[in-house]
Amino acid sequence: MEIIRKTALLQARADSVRAEGRRIALVPTMGALHPGHLSLIAEGLARADEVWVSIFVNPTQFNDPEDFEGYPRTFESDVEKVRAAGATVVFAPTPDQLYPEGAETWVEVGSLSEPLCGASRPGHFRGVTTVVSKLFLAAKPHVAVFGEKDFQQLAVIRRMARDLGFDIEIVGGATLREDDGVAMSSRNLRLGPAARSQATVLIRAIHGAERAVAAGERSAQALLEDVRKTIEEAPQASLDYAELRDPDSLAEAPPQLDGPTLLALAVHFSPDPDGQGADVRLIDNRVLLPQASPRTSTE
C-alpha cells in the first residue's frame, strides 16, 4: 500500500490505473478510522478494482476552531487499518496541496445545505463540498463511498456530483453501531465515560419514534415532543436539533406524516462533571416509514 501526499502524484496514478481499464473507489475520511469506515472500504472493494482512502482533517468544514484542533488524529493506526482492509492507496495531502496559497474558489450546494447541520454549523457544507470536489479531481474515482450516518452530507454530495457532472457513482454505506446502539463516529472518542454512556439517548429517541409510527402516530409535533423528552433524560445532553424532513428534498415534513420521513438528530454532550471528555456534538438519523393507514381519533 502506498501513502501519497501530492495531488499531482495521485492524479498520475489515477491516470495509469484508468488506462489499464481498472476501476477506482474513493473513501474520503478525516481519519480516526473505526469499523464504520472499514465497512465503506469493503463497499468500495465490492464495486471497484482498487480502493483509495483519503485522510485529511479539512479545516474549512469546521466552524469552531477548537473542534478542529481537538479532532482526533490517529494517522499511524489509520494506515494500518486501511492496509488490513485491503485498500491500495492512502492519500494524505498536506493542506497546501488542497488549498494552495491564496485559494478562493468554493463549491457550494444551495438549499440542501441550509437546514439541519447547515443551520447549526454555518459554512460547514461549503467546506465539505469544496474539499470533496478537490478529492474527486485528485483521485479521479469511478465510485465514491460515504457513510449514511451523515445523511445530509450524502444528499449534498450527491447533488453536487449531479450538478457539476462528476462522472462518479456516489454510494451510501449503512451506519455501523456499537453494541449499545450508538452510531460509530470518530467523535465518540472525545466523550467522557459518563457522556459516552448517555449517548444512547439518540438511538433510544429514534427507536421511540419508530415504535410510535408503527403504532400509528402521524403527528410530527407529537413525535418530536417525545424525542425531546427522551434527550432530556440524559443530564449532559442538550438538543441542537430534532427535525422531521423529506428524505430527498430535506424540506420540512408536513404536520401529519404521509410518507417516508427523515428523523434527523444532533445533540451536544458536555464534558463529564470530573472534567473528562470534551464538548462533543453527535448526529444520528433514521428514515421513518409510516404505513398507509394513519391512527384516527376512533382507533
H-type alpha helices, 124-272: 124-139, 151-164, 193-198, 201-214, 220-232
Contact status: 132 vs ligand PAF (CB under 6 A): yes
Judged by beta carbon, residue 234 or residue 280, the one nearer ligand PAF is 280
Site string for ligand PAF, 84-123 (x = CB under 6 A): ----------------------------------------
Strand-pair category, 280-288 with 261-269: antiparallel
Residue 37 a catalytic site member:
yes
Give which of 246, 251, 263 is closest to 210, Cα–Cα: 263
C-beta separation of 207 from 236 below 8 A: no
Judged by beta carbon, residue 131 or residue 265, the one nearer ligand PAF is 131
Site string for ligand PAF, 24-43 (x = CB under 6 A): ----xxx-------------
- Binding ligand PAF by CB under 6 A: which of 39, 58, 113, 236? 58
Looking at 37, 124, 207, 268, which residue is catalytic? Answer: 37
Judged by beta carbon, residue 133 or residue 261, the one nearer ligand PAF is 133
Judged by beta carbon, residue 61 or residue 113, the one nearer ligand PAF is 61
Contact status: 17 vs ligand PAF (CB under 6 A): no
Q: How many residues bind ligand PAF (CB under 6 A)?
A: 10
Judged by beta carbon, residue 170 or residue 201, the one nearer ligand PAF is 170
| Residue at 202: amino acid letter | L
Helix 220-232, helix 201-214: angle, nearest 10: 150
Cell of 78: 489509520
Tell me the C-alpha to C-alpha distance, in Å, between residue 17 and each of 9, 23, 24, 53, 61.
12, 7, 8, 15, 30
Contact status: 61 vs ligand PAF (CB under 6 A): yes
Contact status: 129 vs ligand PAF (CB under 6 A): no
Contact status: 128 vs ligand PAF (CB under 6 A): yes
Q: Going by C-beta distance under 8 Å and a sequence separation of 6 or more, which residues neighbour residue 231?
A: 201, 202, 205, 237, 239, 242, 265, 267
Contact status: 141 vs ligand PAF (CB under 6 A): no
Q: Is the dihedral of CA 179, 183, 187, 193 positive or negative?
A: negative
Active site residue ranges: 37
Enumerate binding residues for ligand PAF (CB under 6 A): 28-30, 58, 61, 128, 131-132, 150, 153
